[in-house]
A and B are shown apart, each in its own frame.
Chain A
């Protein structure tokens, strides 16, 4: 090996084997102890925390769903009061959308993207830590408010005028609106990190057409987040301003308009569906390639479909507003664009089916969940084409048909791939395999339970049962289908209990995984399970779209990064040619302190506008601490 190290600094081409690994581990590890844990900027540590926290919110949101199904299992039940029911369905939707679905996808990206592109840490690692703390504090803020009976009760969309001060004079809508701000700040931060990681930190040789499909999916998702989420932040902030200082954005008596809220909300809300769905498709592509034992057919078609889906998702929002009295012609055009988006989604599904058809599928649990995804999502897509049509939507709007549709799309399109992803990447994250037997029970109960729970809702909607009612009378003939639906929900919940049991059991007693238990092809499987703090002892060189299938003996590497300070390799955008070495930040407690200061500012500002005044200096102090030169070599240079 050629020694390229300069006189000043020891580099990784000067050492080999265990000595190199030990030096790098010491350099990149998270400091021990509680303070060390709070300072961590390791993407794997933060990714794990993100995943666990998001799944904790899934369990909480799921528990609320069960409470609603108990209430609706029979007519005129009094298990929940109307007020509590309103809070619960709002909390369920808000928790699932803002605290589970989006964060869990970003959490997997935070953990996996740096490994998949062959780098040592995510871009802007301190921002990553800040993002997690903001997400955690925002989620806790919402749930503590709920436990204090200040949980929002205006739906996950918080339509005005219901959410205005006049009709809801409590703090409940403020809690909802500010929770949005917390989670959106977190999501935007992660998106910036993902984009920069994908564009600048890829391993040498990982040209644009060698990027793993999950990474492509997260890249598209990140752009969606950056373009869609400012809309909801504007909406939620203006709602708080309306309620706090009478700005009257949404008050028609002063020139405001309630429909402005709906436009702003759904300009975010519809891309939100794809922010959840597109990462799911990335997971599906990764799992399919591995278990079909061949590369996914139509790699460029899949990527084009992802980009087209992302772009078109911004042109559909009005189909959520078909019954608001918009001109029919305009509604008709949005029908056309709503149906247009079925084309790229359909193309991807055909590519996946062709991959299965042409491959040698191994039906392990992750692949079962992918097949479940295809079935459930296609059913959801079909009802989606139905509600994209104005005449049908006008009839079924605000009925359980729509509830059935979006659960088929969201659970089918995101949760099934996600659970498949848990089974697929759990060995990498923990070093142990999940039980295959429990996995199969998990899958079949989930598939059966889900369909029994949600398919009857189509019929309930068609026979007139409206959404968001806390009960119904016996003479409506909705009782039997509701009872079936509630039974299915219990079975569905049991499937998640099995998943939880499987995870807890396997963490201690699961079979050891090894580096690459599935014989997968992408770079995250080229390192140990779980990966060391530095991810890779040397940065791999990529010569093929499926590097571990192509270079199955030994992966070529580059050397020359420092082993005295944290460094990553920057590469060019298209060709991924090495450009320069860049310092990667050390652990720091300042992101946590900044998040605490921001939390005080956000929570205070729903009670008094003066919080903007006294809440800003602590944030400024925290940010100064964050960026204060630490005397490291990075600062000196």
Chain B
């Protein structure tokens, strides 16, 4: 049984999509907001990174739910044939990976003054 069979509307791909999307927005956002952050509050970038890290992790959670509900016997037998479950696993890992990368940029925004751009 695949995720698709049991829950056709499960967002098994959420982690694969949300992780890179959040990172992309964060990467562009820290540059776009640097001027604003320098003149007002340096926390702008930090807040944005924190929110987007949560978005990436949300992708992980949604994909993890898809795995939990849909993981079939194909994984135990290692025969494959469940590409949606596989995508959901990729989503779990991808969300965590991109959340870590965003956290790295968050650390930078905490330590480096935006006025040093």
Contacts and interface: CB of A to CB of B under 8 A. Distances in A.
Interface of A: 205, 207-210, 295, 299-300, 303-304, 307-308, 311-312, 315, 329-330, 333, 336-337, 340, 543-546, 550, 574-575
Nearest to B85: A209
A304 B83 contact: no
B2 to A, nearest CB: 10
B24 interface: no
B93 A574 contact: no
Contacts of A210: 79-81
B17 to A, nearest CB: 14
Given A207-B86, A308-B97, 8 more contacts: A210-B80, A300-B86, A304-B89, A311-B97, A315-B104, A329-B112, A330-B112, A550-B79
A333 B104 contact: yes
A295 B94 contact: no
A308 B19 CA distance: 12
Interface string B18-41: 000000000000000000000000
Q: Is the interface of A mostly helix, strand, loop or mixed?
A: helix
B104 A574 contact: no
B111 A208 contact: no
A544 B79 contact: yes
A575 B83 contact: yes
Contacts of B82: 207, 209
Contacts of B89: 300, 304
Given A333-B104, A336-B104, A544-B79, A307 B112 contact: no
B4 to A, nearest CB: 10
B62 interface: no
Contact of B80 (A308, A312, A544): A544
B80 A545 contact: yes
Interface in B37-89: 74, 78-87, 89
B93 A304 contact: yes
B108 interface: yes
Nearest to A206: B80
B6 interface: no
Given A209-B86, A311-B97, A299 B78 contact: yes
A307 B95 CA distance: 12
Contacts of B85: 209
B22 to A, nearest CB: 14
Give the residue among B79, B80, B101 with the most A Cβ atoms within 10 A.
B80
B115 interface: no
A209 B81 contact: yes
A340 B93 CA distance: 14
Contacts of A330: 108, 112
Contacts of A311: 97, 101
A543 B90 contact: no
Interface string B90-117: 1001100100110010011001100000
Interface residues of B, number: 23
16 contacts: A207-B81, A207-B83, A207-B86, A208-B87, A210-B81, A295-B78, A303-B90, A304-B90, A304-B93, A307-B90, A307-B94, A330-B108, A336-B107, A340-B104, A546-B79, A574-B87
B107 A333 contact: yes
A329 B105 CA distance: 12
B95 to A, nearest CB: 11
Contact of B78 (A303, A329, A545): A545
B100 A207 contact: no
A207 B81 CA distance: 6
B100 A208 contact: no
A308 B79 contact: no
A200 to B, nearest CB: 15
A315 B80 contact: no
A509 to B, nearest CB: 39
Contacts of B83: 207-209, 574-575
A205 B81 CA distance: 7
Contacts of B101: 311-312, 315
B87 A340 contact: no
A299 B82 CA distance: 13
Contacts of A315: 101, 104
Contacts of B87: 208, 574
A213 to B, nearest CB: 12
A550 B79 CA distance: 8
The 9 closest A-B pairs by CB, nearest first: A209-B86, A210-B80, A304-B93, A545-B80, A207-B83, A209-B80, A208-B83, A544-B79, A300-B89
A543 B100 contact: no
A304 B67 CA distance: 15
Contact of B111 (A329, A337, A550): A329
Given A208-B87, A307-B94, A308-B97, A545 B104 contact: no
A543 B82 CA distance: 11
Nearest to A333: B108
Contacts of A303: 90
A333 B112 CA distance: 11
A612 to B, nearest CB: 34
Contacts of B100: 340
Contacts of A300: 86, 89-90, 93
Nearest to A296: B78
A315 B100 CA distance: 12
Contacts of B79: 210, 543-546, 550
A336 B101 CA distance: 10
A210 B97 CA distance: 23
Contacts of A312: 97, 101
A66 B36 CA distance: 58
Contacts of B81: 205, 207, 209-210, 543-544
B21 to A, nearest CB: 14
A308 B101 CA distance: 11
Contacts of A550: 79
A550 B82 CA distance: 16
Contacts of B94: 304, 307
A295 B76 CA distance: 12
A623 to B, nearest CB: 35
Contacts of A575: 83
A393 B112 CA distance: 23
Nearest to A550: B79
